[in-house]
């Protein structure tokens, strides 16, 4: 068998040295980061902080696009239907990925089959708040109040399946209490009614509650995370305040359409981790009650599986249905 001429060998060597797939060249154009919720909320704020940090690391603009509606399904579905090339990703929440499959009989997509986990970004924490005149000064006293008159205490929430609603359901399940839900269009209107005295308590997102707590307009009894928050250092966790094992965080994370090359997913994962390690970024998130969450795609997938089982059990045990 004749050997190849030197010129042919050189050509083969050149071809071998060139990128063989689009994922090796990625990204060559701007990346679209879809937020399936309205601008100004915690998911949107997180996405914009992340996009700003990712752009210089990826060498391309990361454009945040709000596609709202249907409890986050519209924006997420848009990414599910996009090409699996790394140029369309979504900042999805635990509510869509872990909780919704147990609440809706007919979802427009299957989170486990149609989306590829890239990385968690933050854990959103809630805080149990009451008005200053409430007799409840501790989590234990609050539980005693709830048990004394089952169903009498009412709470404001962003609706069935929302993080504040699910955190309250878990609280009731673990304390053997029963309280009445009042659903609102979002946490903001619920907070207004709490301050006005129209509801008794909330498990509010931390960011909108902090200023009210520090101004003395609300009393914080406990936070839903497993550790105390830097922004509310004097507020105990609900677990340490009388409900051992209680832990409820509403994580937000990045997902790509199923079939996106592993090399692209790993690149986004690595760069996101570096952004979250930046002290300025971390402070901006922590001050809003958001805890940076770093892990590999594989660890994230395992975390989602455990989280889904946890909330699925809560939904089934409490016979929660979408109203």
Kindly report the CA angle at 98 between 289 and 258, in degrees rounded to 5?
110
Query: What residues does 90 pair with on adjacent strands?
Result: 34, 255
Q: How far apart are CA 259 and CA 86, in angstroms?
A: 10
* pLDDT of 313 strictly over 80: yes
At residue 68, the 3 state secondary structure works out as: coil
Between 160 and 17, where is the model more confident?
A: 160
Query: Average pLDDT, stretch 122-141?
Result: 96
Summarize pLDDT for 20-60 with one digit per residue, the tens: 566 679 999 999 999 998 787 788 889 999 999 999 999 99
CA distance 74 to 109: 10
Q: State the Cα–Cα distance between residues 5 and 74, nearest whole angstrom.
A: 58
pLDDT at residue 180 is higher than 50: yes
pTM value? 0.83
Average pLDDT over residues 191-216: 93
- Local confidence band at 3 (pLDDT 50, 70, 90 cut-offs): low
Is it the case that residue 9 has pLDDT exceeding 80? no
Q: Is the pLDDT of residue 293 over 70?
A: yes
At residue 159, the pLDDT reads 83
Give per-residue pLDDT as tens, 213-232: 999 999 999 999 999 999 99
Q: Chain-centre distance of CA 86, in angstroms?
A: 21
Average pLDDT for residues 181-190, to the nearest whole number?
Answer: 86
Give CA–CA dist 222/143, Å, rounded.
12
Supply the pLDDT for residue 5.
56
pLDDT at residue number 21: 60
- 44 token code pair: 């949107």
């Amino acid at each position: 068998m004749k050997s190849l001429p030197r010129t042919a060998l050189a050509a083969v060597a050149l071809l071998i040295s060139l990128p063989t797939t689009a994922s090796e060249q990625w990204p060559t154009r701007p990346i679209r980061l879809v937020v399936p919720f309205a601008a100004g909320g915690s998911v949107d704020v997180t996405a914009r902080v992340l996009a700003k940090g990712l752009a210089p690391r990826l060498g391309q603009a990361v454009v945040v696009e709000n596609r709202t509606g249907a409890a986050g399904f519209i924006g997420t579905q848009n990414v599910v239907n996009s090409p699996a090339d790394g140029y369309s990703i979504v900042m999805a929440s635990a509510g869509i990925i872990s909780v919704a499959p147990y609440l809706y009989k007919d979802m427009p997509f299957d989170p486990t089959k149609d989306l590829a986990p890239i990385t968690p970004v933050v854990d959103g924490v809630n805080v149990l708040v009451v008005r200053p005149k409430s007799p409840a000064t501790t989590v234990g006293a609050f539980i005693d109040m709830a048990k004394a008159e089952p169903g009498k205490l009412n709470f404001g929430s962003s609706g069935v399946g929302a993080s504040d609603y699910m955190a309250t359901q878990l609280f009731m399940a673990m304390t053997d209490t029963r309280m009445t839900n009042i659903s609102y269009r979002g946490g903001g209107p619920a907070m207004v009614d709490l301050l006005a005295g129209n509801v008794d308590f909330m498990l509010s997102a931390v960011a909108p509650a902090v200023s009210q707590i520090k101004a003395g307009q609300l009393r914080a009894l406990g936070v839903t995370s497993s550790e105390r928050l830097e922004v509310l250092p004097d507020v105990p966790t609900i677990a340490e305040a009388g409900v051992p094992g209680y832990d409820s965080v509403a994580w937000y994370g990045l997902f790509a359409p199923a079939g996106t090359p592993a090399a692209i997913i790993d690149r986004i994962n690595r760069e996101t981790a570096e952004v979250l390690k930046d002290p300025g970024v971390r402070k901006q998130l922590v001050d809003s009650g958001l805890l940076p969450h770093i892990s590999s795609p594989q660890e994230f997938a395992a975390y989602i599986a455990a989280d889904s089982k946890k909330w699925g059990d809560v939904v089934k045990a409490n016979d929660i249905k979408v109203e």
